[in-house]
Structure 1
Amino acid sequence: MVSAVSVMSGLFIAGDEDRFSPQLYALYLFVYITYLGITVGEFLVQTWKQSCRSRRTSQRIGLRLASAGCASALVYCCYKIFTLVSLGFDLGLITHGYRCSSIFTPVRCTFSVAAPAVSVLLVVSGLTLPALAWPISQLARKRWETRSFKALAPLWSELAEVSPDIVLATINSGEVAEADADFFLHRRVIEINDGILTLRAYRSGRVQQATTHALAQLGEADTLRGYATVEAAVLKDAVRAKHRGLRPNGDIARPAPGTDEREGNLRAETEWLLLVAQAYANSDVVRATTTEAAQEKEAVPTP
């Protein structure tokens, strides 16, 4: 930068003495455009590398928009260098005095006007996007956590009723401040999973098979929602069995498919439990299979 400013200063002083020299004017602009092109090129490399390493989606998109803006600026720099070479050597390759009817016509205006305008727009938008998207995404996440906390309440209360020890502390299951939604949802997911573990001895393999068979007839057996429905039926029957102190007569139901492969983070666990909770409360298949299993157990005389 110091070298470029020094050369441009010398050319500016020389041009004051010979102000009508097109060669000095072309050389002056050539130094400026060359330095601009080098700077934009380095910025292009940096933004692209950072976008490949970034884990935030908004930051990755923003940096790639900035990279695209740098590419557009390089197109402008190349065009200006071509124009200055024509002017400096008096080659007559570029006519002067033309006017742009729009930013795209004539074609030269695409390079001289549209390219720098698009470049500035993309760079500014790309660098601004992460700063704007971050608070919006955080607000959306907090609201999702609050809604999920409330949606899991019916399943949580059922498990807490038969296994009170899973409750870590007394909390308000109704209104939850969005600022604390992350903490409360974490705790609720942990308590539900602990409740599921306490019901291992009551998980009926017959209910699991019956629910799977019923879903297979509906074409929903080998889907994530189908797996959640099967798990909901097993849990509903297990809760009822623990209430009455009845252990299953057959095999113990296996964990739901994909349990070991599921990502062990809050969102993955919550989304899975939301599917289970929805089926637990609303599924006709769950209601039918658990009712049938309860009737069979009642028909067996208690020893």
Structure 2
Amino acid sequence: MTGLILLGLAAAVAWKLYQWSRAPHDAPLRSVTLCLLSATTSYPLAMPGGASGVDTVAGHGTAKLIQNVLLLLTVYFLMCFYLYSADGQAARRRARREAVVVALVAVAITVAALSVPHEVFAGSFSTADMTISQIAFFYGGAGLYLMYALAVAGWWTGRYARMSRRPHATGLWMAAAGLGAMALACAVRAVFVAIRWGGGIVPQPVMASVAFLLVVSILLFVVGVTYPGARARITAVRLWLRRRRDYRRLTPLWQLLSEACPEIVLRPASQRLWDRWRARGVHRRYHRRIVECRDGLVDISPYLADAGEDIEVLDLPPAVLAQRLRRNVHTVGKRALAPRSAVPLAVPKEADREADVRQLIAVSDALRLSA
């Protein structure tokens, strides 16, 4: 599971780095890329194997120090994304001031960590000796900045959620709730640091509850960020599947019309094999088949009236139209002049593209059943 998460983060970073290389002056994109890069780099340091490897080389507690500095950078760049998205000189000046703040916090907690023996700094948050002022300052200072940056990012997220529509608004509200819960968890942990620094004891179940809140809030934030994109992809996949199905259902009608009127067949835009499965290729072939079927019906319509029949074939039911198509298709082109003018066929009552496709599919299904 850990490997899959790290692989997903690495893939996201690679994609954002590629986008950044194509738009190097896009400040919001740069902030998102650096945010993901900082988070991805810090993730292995939180794992026992990664932390022990760094500590073996650089001394106990080094991995924890680097991880916390990277977390500070993660939330700073997340906050910068919203500041740069405001697209104003005031926002850019604010981002530069925030850079000074995060740099001061990072230097301060680094000095605090390096001023104590490595053995003292080796413990986790729940086991560290908070009566040592440097340890308490390390955890408390980092936690307070995380609380501040997450709260600001959550406020901006909620602001954008109020201006957005679904499904983006739903995802933004979930992300805002996740950021707010993370800020709350950081604030509570800062209170724990103060209590333990003063010699008090925080029950382990209480600390475990706050740690659980932090995990849930992170998951809620991740779900909120990915929700609009995931929903859009699901919708796109459903449309892809439906158009592939409709394309195949139109085959009987298309084959009949293309044999009678070969000139209706349009030239394919691509002959590549993988184009059959790509979304763009599927949609293009789907729309081309609709156009070809419509052109074929126009060309064949003059030949569908029975002898002596003086009615429009516009309103023929799909089953009747299918019978006449199959019966009269071989007469197309055998006469010098068409017996009558072309008329629209299989025209839906509703004036929209989906109704038009449903009408063509009904005729095609009738042809298949009568074969």
Given the two structures, how large is their TM-score scaled by the length of structure 1? 0.52
Confirm or deny: 8 A CA contact 1:149 1:185 kept in the other structure. Answer: yes
* Residues 197 and 178 of structure 1: CA distance in aligned 2, closer, same or farther (over 3 Å): farther
Deviation sequence 1:172-206 (CA, Å, 0-9, x none):
xxxx9451453444433221110111244456658
Matched, 1:189 2:280: no
Confirm or deny: 8 A CA contact 1:4 1:32 kept in the other structure. Answer: no
Q: Match of 2:204, SS?
A: coil
Spell out the pairing of 1:75-90 with structure 2 (5 A cutoff): 75-78=181-184, 80-81=186-187, 84=190
Spell out the pairing of 1:36-115 with structure 2 (5 A cutoff): 36-43=150-157, 45-46=159-160, 48=161, 52=165, 60=167, 64-65=170-171, 67-78=173-184, 80-81=186-187, 84=190, 96-100=201-205, 110=209, 112-115=210-213
Confirm or deny: 8 A CA contact 1:75 1:115 kept in the other structure. Answer: yes
Q: Match of 2:351, SS?
A: coil
Aligned partner of 2:324 in structure 1 is 237
Aligned partner of 1:291 in structure 2 is none
* Distance in 1 separating the partners of 2:151 and 2:233: 31
* Residues 35 and 43 of structure 1: CA distance in aligned 2, closer, same or farther (over 3 Å): same
Deviation sequence 1:144-185 (CA, Å, 0-9, x none):
655544432221122234334323469xxxxx9451453444
Gaps of 5+ in 2: 1-97, 117-130, 306-310
> How far 1:82 moved relative to its partner?
5.8
* Residues 149 and 262 of structure 1: CA distance in aligned 2, closer, same or farther (over 3 Å): closer
- Equivalent residue pairs, number: 235
> How far 1:270 moved relative to its partner?
4.9
Of the three residues 179, 189, 196, the one matched with 2:275 is 179
Identity of aligned residues (%): 21
Spell out the pairing of 1:113-262 with structure 2 (5 A cutoff): 113-125=211-223, 127=225, 130=229, 141=240, 148-168=246-266, 177-180=273-276, 182=282, 183-201=284-302, 230-238=317-325, 240-241=327-328, 243=330, 256-262=347-353
Gaps of 5+ in 1: 54-59, 101-105, 171-175, 212-229, 288-303
The residue type equivalent to 2:204 in the other structure is: R
* Distance in 1 separating the partners of 2:243 and 2:274: 8
Deviation sequence 1:18-39 (CA, Å, 0-9, x none):
9449996897343441223213
Confirm or deny: 8 A CA contact 1:65 1:122 kept in the other structure. Answer: no
Given the two structures, how large is their TM-score scaled by the length of structure 2? 0.45
* Distance in 1 separating the partners of 2:325 and 2:163: 51
* Distance in 1 separating the partners of 2:140 and 2:251: 73
- Per mean C-alpha deviation after superposition, the further-off stretch among 17-26 and 122-131 is 17-26
Q: Match of 2:298, SS?
A: helix
> How far 1:127 moved relative to its partner?
4.9
* Distance in 1 separating the partners of 2:345 and 2:359: 17
> How far 1:247 moved relative to its partner?
6.7
The residue type equivalent to 1:191 in the other structure is: E
Confirm or deny: 8 A CA contact 1:8 1:31 kept in the other structure. Answer: no
* Residues 76 and 124 of structure 1: CA distance in aligned 2, closer, same or farther (over 3 Å): closer
Aligned partner of 1:277 in structure 2 is 364
* Residues 85 and 167 of structure 1: CA distance in aligned 2, closer, same or farther (over 3 Å): closer
Confirm or deny: 8 A CA contact 1:208 1:234 kept in the other structure. Answer: no
* Distance in 1 separating the partners of 2:273 and 2:110: 64
The residue type equivalent to 1:121 in the other structure is: L
* Residues 260 and 157 of structure 1: CA distance in aligned 2, closer, same or farther (over 3 Å): same
* Distance in 1 separating the partners of 2:289 and 2:345: 23
Confirm or deny: 8 A CA contact 1:43 1:70 kept in the other structure. Answer: yes
* Cα RMSD, aligned residues only: 5.2
Q: Match of 2:353, SS?
A: coil
Deviation sequence 1:121-146 (CA, Å, 0-9, x none):
233455567489859956983x6655
* Residues 6 and 21 of structure 1: CA distance in aligned 2, closer, same or farther (over 3 Å): closer
Deviation sequence 1:97-141 (CA, Å, 0-9, x none):
2122xxxxx6x855x223321222233455567489859956983
Q: Who wins on radius of gyration, i.e. which is larger?
A: 1
Deviation sequence 1:247-280 (CA, Å, 0-9, x none):
79xxx787533352335xxxx7655533331133
* Distance in 2 separating the partners of 1:243 and 1:144: 32
RCO comparison, higher one (Cα < 8 Å, 6+): 1
